[in-house]
Amino acid sequence: MAHSGVKLSDETLVGQPIDLNNCDREPIHIPGLIQPYGFLLCLDEQTRQVVMASANTQDLLGVAPEELVGTGLGRLMEAEQLIEVERLWPSITEQGRLLGVRLDRVLNRPFYKLILHRYDDLLWVEGEPVADTTVSALDLPTLNLTLGSLLGAATTLGMCQVAVEQVRALTGFDRVAVYRFTPDDSGEVIAEAVREDLPPWLGMHYPATDIPKQARAMYLKNWLRFIPDASYMPTPLVPARHPMSNRPPDMTYSVLRSVSPIHIQYLHNMGSQATMTISLIEDGRLWGMITCHHQSPRLVSYELRDLCQFLGKTLSALLKTKQQYDELAYRQRIAETQTRLFELVSTQPNFVDGLHRFSPTLLDVFDCGGAAICFEGETIRLGHTPTPTQLADLVDWLREFAPNEEVFHTDSYAQLNPAGRAIRGTASGILAIRLAQAPNEYIFWFRPEQLQTVTWAGRHEKNQTTVDGQIFLSPRQSFEAWKQAVEDTAVPWQPLEIAAARDIRLFISDVRLKIFNELQARARSLTALNTELERSNEELDSFAYVASHDLKEPLRGIHNYSLFLLEDYADKLDAEGVSKLRTLVRLSQRMEALIESLLRISRAGREELNVEEVDLNELLAGVLELLAPRFEQTGTTVAVPIPLPTLRCDPVRLGEVFNNLLTNALRYNDRPEKHVEIGVAPTAHPPYHRLVDTTAFEVLYVKDNGIGIDARHHESIFRIFKRLHGQDKYGGGTGAGLAIVKKMLDKHGGELWVESELGQGATFYFTISKLL
Question: DSSP string of 623-675?
Answer: HHHHHHHHHHHHTEEEE--SPPPEEEE-HHHHHHHHHHHHHHHHHS---SSEE
CA–CA gap between residue 754 and residue 718 (Å, rounded): 10
Long-range contact set of residues 753-759: C-beta below 8 Å, sequence gap at least 24: 753/688, 753/690, 753/714, 754/709, 754/714, 754/717, 755/688, 755/689, 755/714, 756/708, 756/709, 756/711, 756/714, 757/708, 757/709, 757/710, 757/711, 758/707, 758/708, 758/709, 758/710, 759/707, 759/708
Cα–Cα nearest to 205, from 399, 6, 485: 485
Q: Are 332 and 325 in contact (CB under 8 A)?
A: no
Residue 347 is which amino acid?
Answer: T
SS3 letters across 63-131: CCHHHHCCCCHHHCCCHHHHHHHHHHHHHCCCCCEEEEEEECCCCCCCCEEEEEEEECCEEEEEEEECC
Three-point CA angle 357, 362, 364, nearest 5°: 105
Other beta carbons within 10 angstroms of residue 505's beta carbon come to 19
Q: Are 379 and 387 in contact (CB under 8 A)?
A: no
What residues contact residue 452 under an 8 Å CB cut-off, 6+ apart? Answer: 424, 425
The runs of H, that is alpha helices, within 156-290 are 156-171, 213-221, 261-270
CA–CA gap between residue 167 and residue 142 (Å, rounded): 11
Strand partners, 135: 300
CA–CA gap between residue 171 and residue 163 (Å, rounded): 12
pLDDT score, position 33: 93
CA–CA gap between residue 240 and residue 232 (Å, rounded): 19
CA–CA gap between residue 238 and residue 42 (Å, rounded): 10
303 SS3 class:
helix
pLDDT score, position 675: 95
Cα–Cα nearest to 442, from 476, 467, 489, 409: 409
On the question of a cis peptide bond just before residue 360, with omega within 30 degrees of 0, the verdict is: yes
What residues contact residue 64 under an 8 Å CB cut-off, 6+ apart? Answer: 57, 58
As to burial, measured by CB atoms within 10 angstroms (0-12 exposed, 13-18 middle, 19+ buried), residue 402 is: middle
Residue 181 is which amino acid?
Answer: F
Domains and CATH numbers, the chain: 367-463+485-493 (3.30.450.270), 518-606 (1.10.287), 612-769 (3.30.565.10)
Q: Are 696 and 772 in contact (CB under 8 A)?
A: no
CA–CA gap between residue 450 and residue 464 (Å, rounded): 24
CA–CA gap between residue 201 and residue 455 (Å, rounded): 9
On the question of a cis peptide bond just before residue 239, with omega within 30 degrees of 0, the verdict is: yes
pLDDT score, position 379: 94
pLDDT score, position 521: 65
CA–CA gap between residue 227 and residue 173 (Å, rounded): 12
537 to 21, 43, 73, 545, 744: CA distances (angstroms): 89, 113, 118, 12, 16
pTM of the complete model: 0.60
Other beta carbons within 10 angstroms of residue 195's beta carbon come to 12
Which string of b and e fits 208-243 if b means at least 16 CB within 10 Å? bbbbbebbbebbeebbbbbbbbbebebbbbbeeebe
Mean pLDDT for back-to-back runs of 10 residues, the chain (772 residues): 29 40 55 90 92 93 92 87 86 81 64 89 90 55 82 92 94 94 85 93 80 80 92 93 87 89 80 93 93 94 90 94 91 93 89 91 94 92 95 94 91 94 93 83 93 45 39 51 70 93 90 68 67 62 59 68 74 78 70 60 65 93 89 92 93 87 89 94 89 91 93 81 52 65 87 92 93 72
Three-point CA angle 319, 321, 326, nearest 5°: 90
CA–CA gap between residue 94 and residue 198 (Å, rounded): 38
CA–CA gap between residue 119 and residue 70 (Å, rounded): 19
Phi and psi at residue 123, in whole multiples of 5°?
Answer: -105, 125
Q: Are 371 and 431 in contact (CB under 8 A)?
A: no
pLDDT score, position 11: 32
pLDDT score, position 608: 74
pLDDT score, position 8: 28
pLDDT score, position 12: 37
Cα–Cα nearest to 451, from 494, 495, 416, 421: 421
CA–CA gap between residue 102 and residue 212 (Å, rounded): 37
Q: Are 430 and 486 in contact (CB under 8 A)?
A: no
